[in-house]
Amino acid sequence: MAENMYFIQILILFFLLLIFINLLQNLRRLRGQNKLRPRKPLPLISVLIPARNEERNIEQCVSSLLKSSYPHLEIIVLDDNSHDRTYEIVKKISNRHPKLKVIKGNKLPDGWNGKNWACHQLSQVARGEWFLFTDADTIHKPNSISTALATAQRRNSAFVSCIPGFITKTWSEKLYFPIIHFVFVAIFPFKVMNFSKDSRLSFAMGPFLFIDSKFYFSWGGYEAIKAEVVDDIAMAKKVKEHDGGISIIDGTRFMDVRFYRNFREVWNGFSKNSYEALGKAPHLLFALLFACYYLFLYPYISLWVALESHQSLTLPLLQVITLALIKLILSLRFKVSIIYGQLHPSAFGRRVFFALILAAVLLVPKTFTDNSPREIKIVTSVFPLMEFARAVAGDRGEVSLLLPPGAEIHTWQPRPSDIVRLSSADLFVYIGSDMEPWLNDILASVRNPRLRTLEASHGVSLIELDAAGELNLRVNEREHEHGAVDPHIWLDFHNDQVIVDRIAAVLSEMEPTGVPDFKKNASACKKKLQSLDETYRKSLKSCVHKVFILGGHAAFGYLARRYGLHQVSLYGLSPDSQPTPKKLIEVVELAKKHRIKAIFFESFVSDELANVLAREVKARTMVLNPGASLTKEELQSGVTFFDIMERNLENLKDGLICR
């Protein structure tokens, strides 16, 4: 028995020394971060602040950010249906500062956590290359943003979070907040976290989430974690799952926050967030408490017993000294009360629980989860999305197309049977309301609380329309908020790769056991798209004509933009519109001027106007297929998206006389 207890004492001391060494390494990694400077050219950074009933905090937060030393900045505050003066306060400040904007939030949809919905809306209007999600109760120093960017650049990280300075005024705040430093600086291995691909090695703090915007949209952003209560840890895990690096910085020198103001708020906040971070798993909680007892409470009990029974004090004393030294270093480094930092007896119930939260996430085997494969029912609106979803899901998905063969997506109307299909589906993938005008009606009719939706146009490079309805080739990589966009996004093969990544991210969220398969399948599909893109680029590089005329609607704007071509169509984006006589004359004159030898028309659209135009300019007609829908025969024969695009390329090479 004595030998067993001696072994336990040695083991406890060994782990405490490991924690001490890890603390020193983490502090060394945090050192000197405030001296880093971002590399030029400086990207636009969007600071995004969700705010609900924050009139006592918001002015101080926004004012501190407006004093930032980082010059290329936009600050957007979303008023999340506040009942106080939050909106009025920010609006008044924004009148004096053009870089500040305030917007009103929309009603919370089903299935969303409130903060996550607010942050999602902010991300859709932001223009920056980097996003900083920060809370309304934070106070920033001038160097907070530049330090985060410089750290991300220095360490090649897609995601940066920080341990902020804590404003503590009551005894409960002073007693409990040192726990955060203890858990995340003493126990958590920063360097390993930055380079490891294990999503269980993830850490972030909600008041400061700094992320590359393109990377954010590639895995779905807040839409992929919409129901998570602990959104910071959930986001960090998503970053890891998609091979992004995470860096943690010492925020005590550039940001302060007061989380809670009394004991009740502290107790409720810590209880809710810690249990959620463990995935609401009671067995993990008990296992964790058992481990924490031996590491952080037993040394004090053992020392007391040794003193009372006149046993050897060596090992218990070394354990207690190591623990006290760890807490002393943390108290000095993060400028918290040394006395409160050492008060284990009163704070220990909480300290024990927090000390190895992340260790539990690391140590619990993945076999505790249900590993049985599940076939996900996926419905898509257009054929290319069906192809991409089928490629990513593989054997784990049953993918079907909502539109019947040969249907025109702009004018098609859903039937009751289509609503029934969606009511039994797990995931619906669509382009967006600019493509599917019937979308809102059909989703409103579906009674399926488990149905996930994925709007493919989020996070891709969009082509806007100007006020006259003409194509405007300005790129907008966010959800469009000013007017219509060209919805034929799949005709840019780079957009398709983003869509494939987003489908993989959503499927991984729905079926975690399939993550390796989804990643592998997505990678294979993207390689095919990259190869197709390169073939198009080489084939269309040296063409006699750079202008191609469509005797139909303007469906190929993305293809034209990507390969340096110019699309001229007889009418706009709607297949139902008709060209004016003036437009016909202009196109005829253009065709003659450029000596056009081929007039293109789309499958599923009448070739009558194309033939009229071709006769007028003595040209031939050729087919270009956007690929949104196929005939029944094509579907049955197994025609693929890649087959269609390869046929289009051959016709383009022929019609534009490409060498």
Residue 503 has pLDDT above 90, yes or no: yes
Is the pLDDT score of 543 beyond 50? Answer: yes
- Give 355 or 405, the one with higher predicted confidence: 405
- Which residue pairs, CB below 8 angstroms and at least 24 apart, start in 219-222? 219/501, 219/502, 219/505, 220/454, 220/502, 220/505, 220/506, 220/509, 221/120, 221/123, 221/458, 221/459, 222/116, 222/117, 222/119, 222/120, 222/123
pLDDT of 47 > 90? The answer is yes
Label residue 443 by pLDDT band (50, 70, 90): confident
Q: Which of 424, 421, 423, 426 is nearest to 374 (CA)?
A: 426
Give tens-digit pLDDT for 212-263.
999 999 999 999 999 888 888 889 889 988 888 888 888 888 888 877 666 6
The pLDDT tens digits for 63-98 are 999 999 999 999 999 999 888 889 999 999 999 999
CA angle 598, 602, 605 (to 5 degrees): 125
DSSP string for 119-176: HHHHHHH---SEEEEE-TTEEE-TTHHHHHHHHHHHHT-SEEEEEEEE---SHHHHHH
pLDDT of residue 69: 92
Q: Is the pLDDT confidence value at 16 over 80?
A: yes
**357 has pLDDT over 50:** no
Question: What percent of the chain clears pLDDT 90, i.e. is strictly above it?
Answer: 34
Using 50, 70 and 90 to split pLDDT, how confident is the model at 606? confident
Residue 469: predicted pLDDT: 39
Sheet holding 547-553, edge to edge: 566-571, 547-553, 598-602, 620-624
Radius of gyration of the chain (CA): 29
For residue 475, what are the β-bridge partners?
463
Arithmetic mean of pLDDT, 309-328: 86
* Model confidence at 365: pLDDT above 50: no
Is the pLDDT at 346 greater than 70? The verdict is no
**pLDDT, tens only, 507-522:** 999 888 889 999 999 9
Cis peptide before 404 (omega within 30 of 0): no
DSSP structure string for 610-642: HHHHHHHHT-EEEEE---S---HHHHHHT--HH
pLDDT at residue 345 is higher than 50 = no
Structure tokens at 195: 């380079």
CB 498 within 8 A of CB 446: no
Buried b (16+ CB within 10 A) or exposed e, 228-248: bbbbbbbbbbbbbbbebbbbb
| DSSP state, residue 485 | B
CB-based contacts of 145, cutoff 8 Å, min separation 6: 45, 47, 65, 68, 69, 70, 73, 132, 210
Question: Residue 433 above 70 pLDDT?
Answer: no
Yes or no: say if 567 and 488 are a contact pair by the CB < 8 Å rule.
no
Highest mean pLDDT (candidates 327-336, 468-477, 590-599): 590-599
What average pLDDT does the segment 17-37 reach? 79
Q: Which two tokens stand for residue 84?
A: 């106080």
Strand intervals (E) in 335-396: 376-380
In this structure, of 56-70, 367-381, 447-461, 603-617, the range with the lowest mean pLDDT score is 367-381
Calculate the CA dihedral of residues 336, 21, 163, 329 and round it to 10 degrees.
Answer: 10
Environment class of 360 (CB within 10 Å of its CB; exposed 0-12, middle 13-18, buried 19+): buried
Q: What is the mean pLDDT of the chain?
A: 81
How sure is the predictor about 634, in pLDDT bands with cuts at 50, 70 and 90? confident
State the DSSP H helix or E strand holding residue 40, giving kind and residue range, or none if neither: none
Task: State residue 277's pLDDT score.
Answer: 54
224-228, 331-335, 459-463, 516-520: which has the minimum mean pLDDT? Answer: 331-335
pLDDT higher than threshold 70 for residue 359 = no
Q: Locate tokens 């995004």: which residue?
A: 48
Work out the pLDDT band at 267, boundaries 50, 70, 90. Answer: low
Which of 6-10, 151-155, 306-310, 364-368 bottoms out in mean pLDDT, i.e. has the lowest? 364-368
pLDDT digits (tens, 9 = 90+) for 270-318: 655 555 555 555 666 676 677 677 777 788 888 888 888 878 888 889 9
Say what the pLDDT of residue 347 is. Answer: 41
Bridge partners (DSSP) of residue 591 are none
